Copies of this chain bind each other. A is one copy, B any other.
Amino acid sequence: MTQASWSQLLRPPAGPVDLTAVDPRATPGFTGKKADGQAALLALEPTITDLQERLYAHGRTDGQRRLLLVTQGMDTSGKGGTMRKTVGLMDPQGVVIKAFGAPTDTEKRRGFLWRIRQALPPGGKVGVFDRSHYEDVLVARVRSLASKATIERRYDAINEFEQELAESGCVVVKVMLHISRDEQKARLAERLDNPTKYWKYNPKDIDDRKLWDDFQHAYEIALERCNTDTAPWHVIPADRKWYRNLAVAHLLVEHLEGMGLSWPPADFDIEAEKARLAVS
């Protein structure tokens, strides 16, 4: 990575997005194979840990800056695996993971961003969303859960919300885990073949799978409409799990580095405290 940043590499260019033009087996920015990629991920651990600890320290001294990782993708695209392998590199004390299912009636009444705002990370923490407010322009669009006019308004509402988030000190990192239709089939088949994975299988996944093209199209629109400079989208080729994990780790490192956090200074008299400790 001597040239473009991972963020630049993975961000779709402005304008209409064509997901069929993005190879889900590609490994942009990395020329090695699986074992190299796995080693590269583990090699990032000290860096990511150091950066995250700075953010945590910032929060512990009343700092308001924070990071939000938004993960989206079709069923089996690897949101859970990314949590285990990449998010799992971080200190769990500084991570808040929130998974969003179908909204409850109460949540619906309060507007689609209400439950999202409730789940935002506090200062110093890394928040991770497993699905997000984007479901309200993805599944909502594909299954007509809201009127077209409502969905149209939501793209703007999301952009405004993310702008507000950024202005309040929250760095937003959005990743779409991009798998192929064939890879999804293989992963679903594995869940049906392996009794230790039955619990991961949901017959509704096939219903969604039948609407594959509609979902891809809904993603393309969201990726175009909400690809702002403040909170850009990243499309992660995700058929190779090791690449997916590595790419998300690099995005976290880049964005944490970009925050430029230094260690909080002492808010006490160091020499006086040393003297107190000495006689204690």
Given known contacts A192-B277, A203-B273, is B92 in contact with A84 (CB within 8 Å)?
yes
Would A280 and B97 count as touching, CB distance under 8 A? no
> Per-residue 0/1 for A181-219: is the Cβ within 8 Å of any B Cβ (1 yes, 0 no)?
000010011001001101111010010011000000000
Would A264 and B57 count as touching, CB distance under 8 A? no
Q: Which residue of chain B has the shortest Cβ distance to A266 in the bound complex?
A: B198
Would B97 and A270 count as touching, CB distance under 8 A? no
Residues of B within 8 A of A130 (CB): 93
Would A203 and B87 count as touching, CB distance under 8 A? no
Q: Check: A80 CB closer than 8 A to any chain B CB.
A: yes
* Residue of B88, B199, B270 touching A88 (CB-CB under 8 A): B88
Would B61 and A273 count as touching, CB distance under 8 A? no
* Chain A, 101-119, CB within 8 A of any chain B CB: none
Provide the main secondary structure of the chain A interface: helix
* Residue of B188, B199, B203, B265 touching A61 (CB-CB under 8 A): B199
Q: Check: A276 CB closer than 8 A to any chain B CB.
A: yes
Would B93 and A83 count as touching, CB distance under 8 A? yes
Would A188 and B91 count as touching, CB distance under 8 A? no
Category for how many chain A residues contact B: 35 or more
* Chain A, 231-280, CB within 8 A of any chain B CB: 263-266, 268, 270, 273-274, 276-277, 280
Would B274 and A192 count as touching, CB distance under 8 A? yes
Cα distance A209–B268 in the bound complex, in angstroms: 17
Cα distance A93–B97 in the bound complex, in angstroms: 6
* Residue of B60, B84, B192 touching A270 (CB-CB under 8 A): B192
Would B198 and A263 count as touching, CB distance under 8 A? yes
Q: Check: A172 CB closer than 8 A to any chain B CB.
A: no
Cα distance A210–B280 in the bound complex, in angstroms: 6
Q: Check: A41 CB closer than 8 A to any chain B CB.
A: no
Residues of B within 8 A of A90 (CB): 92
Residue among A88, A99, A185, A209 facing the most chain B CB atoms (10 A cut-off) = A88
Instruction: Show the binding face of A for B, using Cβ within 8 Å.
Output: 57, 60-61, 80, 83-84, 87-88, 90-93, 95, 97, 99, 128, 130, 185, 188-189, 192, 195-196, 198-201, 203, 206, 209-210, 263-266, 268, 270, 273-274, 276-277, 280
A-B contact pairs, 16 of them (CB 8 A): A80-B93, A84-B91, A84-B93, A92-B95, A93-B97, A189-B274, A189-B277, A192-B274, A195-B266, A198-B263, A198-B264, A201-B266, A201-B268, A206-B276, A209-B277, A210-B280
